[in-house]
Chains A and B, each alone.
Chain A
Amino acid sequence: MTVNIKRIPKKKFLMPGNAACPGCPETMGMRYLKMALGDNFVMVIPAGCSSVIQGIAPRSGIYAPILNIVFAAGASAAAGMKAGFESIGRKDVEVVVWAGDGGTGDIGFQALSGAAERDDDILYICVDNEAYMNTGIQRSSLTPYGAWTTTTWTGKREHKKNIPLIMIAHGVKYVATASVGYPTDFIAKVKKASQIRGFKYIHLLAPCPVGWRFDPALTGEIGQLAVKTGLFPLYEYENGKFQLSPLARRYKDPSNRVPVVEYLKLQGRYKHLINKPEEIKKIEEYIESIWYMIDVLEKAFNPKEEARKLLGSL
């Protein structure tokens, strides 16, 4: 599914004058969500930056009906809301959970896992800015290795938790990863997800200029570099079929990837390890392990294709 920018209607997708920082990736993501789903959706927002972006009542900066809910209840509130819509005969309304990485991977994980297991008909979008940015850049379980936060001064010692793979292991209908650096890819994935009945999960990488310590003008560029270095592969899992997105397919070959230093040196949160080759080597090894996992998944979920290749080689 391709998206033609020129055919997107000339109207506002977000209210200007909201409380987001300059260069915020979350407001970019919200615009793309509205472009993809039109007017027929409701947002459920657990605590996070997105609940602050709305601004001060009686005005709201986000162009959608919103239910603000506690951290631990994002997915379950959405499941209940969907059941409510179905009981009054509004099956066409899409209920979207717009949660941060803390609300997905740490505090909201039991609700997410429960909703995935029940296969509730909701769209869960995790806006992954890799730390608790709203409360002042504290480490989360999705903070990558080596990154500075206010609670990991010398860099985090653990690797990032791989939530999309955990969701694939739940056996849900649709799982995808996207980046704000590639808007048309994200819009296409949301459009595709909205046509599927059942639990849908999209992991959106959102480079945060405040927490990652870079110039706000580079938000889109860093979102693209994360994909180009191979650190954040874009893929889709749909009804038991796993495939890399066309944008990320060429980075399967290590020679096509941009060196990871190009990505690290733009961000202040990696300032302390830019002169330490052994730390950079660890990140490179992590990239290798991600792509090894993807190779295994491709073979495991598309066995027929593998068999055909084997027959061809005989």
Chain B
Amino acid sequence: MNVNSKPVLEEPKTVFFAPISHPSPGSVGKTGTWRTHKPVVDLDKCTGCLICWLYCPEDTIIRLENDKVSIDYEYCKGCGICAHQCPFDAIQMVPEG
């Protein structure tokens, strides 16, 4: 095969019509509006064990300094896993509105 031969066809130009997705919060909007019950953290009972943070499926639990937690209500879907898993009953599910 002759390496120096020029290609017969021109290389087609690729045009991307679909944008490439980048990781960013809120890919389907503000999911906090899905919530019927909201989790409320009692910081006096919280010991900073981080079990709620580990189990949260949404990553909406914010780690404060000394590893106590607060909740990002903009995106929390209110599933209640944090309240169920908390070994110290520091999170209560309160009805919205």
Contacts and interface: CB of A to CB of B under 8 A. Distances in A.
A217 B83 contact: yes
Interface residues of A, number: 41
B79 A60 contact: no
A243 interface: no
B53 to A, nearest CB: 8
Contact of A16 (B31, B35, B93): B31
* Chain B residues touching A, majority SS: loop
B80 A16 contact: no
Interface of B: 18-31, 34-35, 49-51, 53-60, 63, 67, 72, 74-81, 83-85, 93
Contacts of A217: 79-81, 83-84, 93
B27 A219 contact: no
Contact of B23 (A15, A56, A219, A220): A15
Interface in A110-148: none
A64 to B, nearest CB: 8
Interface stretch (A23-31, A229-237, A254-262, A268-276): A23-31
A55 B79 contact: no
B24 A60 contact: yes
Interface in A4-53: 5-6, 10, 12-25, 27-28, 31
Q: Is the interface of A mostly helix, strand, loop or mixed?
A: loop
Contacts of A219: 57, 79, 81
Interface string A200-233: 0000000001000001111111000000000000
Which 9 residue pairs spanning A and B have beta carbons closest together?
Answer: A55-B27, A217-B80, A17-B26, A16-B75, A23-B79, A22-B79, A59-B27, A60-B21, A22-B77
A220 B81 contact: yes
Contact of A215 (B28, B55, B80): B80
Nearest to A221: B84
Contact of A19 (B27, B63, B84, B93): B27
A28 B21 contact: no
A216 B79 contact: yes
A291 interface: no
Contacts of A221: 84-85
Contact of B27 (A15, A24, A215): A15
Given A17-B26, A59-B22, 5 more contacts: A12-B59, A16-B59, A21-B77, A55-B27, A217-B84
